[in-house]
Amino acid sequence: MEHGNTEHKEHSHGYGIYILVWLALIALTSITVTVAGVDFGKIALPIALFIAAVKSMLVINFFMHIKYEDAIFKVFLLLSGMTLLVIFILTFFDVFYR
């Protein structure tokens, strides 16, 4: 408002929120490195992937601004994610039951 932009939608933030997200990303990185040192056996991979997924959601939502973008961008993202998921599931069916 006060900076009088010509953009239709303006979600300008201060520096603060991004520094918080960065701190969270660094914290999650140290957690995933620490957890890798512990023997979790079969669930080690799901834990590592879960932490990576949380990190990527932070990057996508805040750094890549998706949280504040129009719904169409979220639909795009969901569509590409689903496409990848379908390809993975179909391939796994082939590999596991061969």
Partner 1 sequence: MSQSNTTAVHHVHRDDLGAKMGMWVFLFTEVLLFGGMFLVYAVYRFQHPELFKLAALELNTAMGTFNTIVLLTSSLTMVLAIVALQKMHKKLSLFYLAVTIGFAFVFMVVKYFEWSAKFSHGIYPGSEELLNKQNGEILFFGLYFVMTGLHALHVIIGVVIIAFLYVFIKRDKITHDNYVKLENGGLYWHLVDLIWIFLFPLFYLIH
What residues make contact with partner 1 under the rule CB under 8 A? Answer: 3, 5-8, 12-15, 18-19, 21-22, 25-26, 29, 32-33, 36-37, 39, 44, 48-49, 51-52, 55-56, 59-60, 62-65, 69-70, 72-73, 76-77, 80, 83-84, 87-88, 91-92, 95-96
**Shortest distance, CB of residue 14 to partner 1, whole angstroms?**
7
Instruction: Tell me the C-alpha distance between 12 and 84, whole Å.
Output: 32
- Minimum CB separation from partner 1 for residue 59, in Å? 5
CA distance 63 to 15: 11
Provide the minimum distance between the beta carbon of 3 and partner 1 in the complex, in angstroms, as a whole number: 7
CA distance 23 to 19: 6
Nearest distance from residue 73's CB to partner 1, in Å?
Answer: 6
**Spatial distance between the Cα atoms of 13 and 29, rounded to a whole number of angstroms:** 25
Q: How far is CA 47 from CA 1, 16, 86, 89, 96, in A?
A: 43, 29, 22, 19, 22
Nearer to partner 1, 43 or 48 (CB): 48
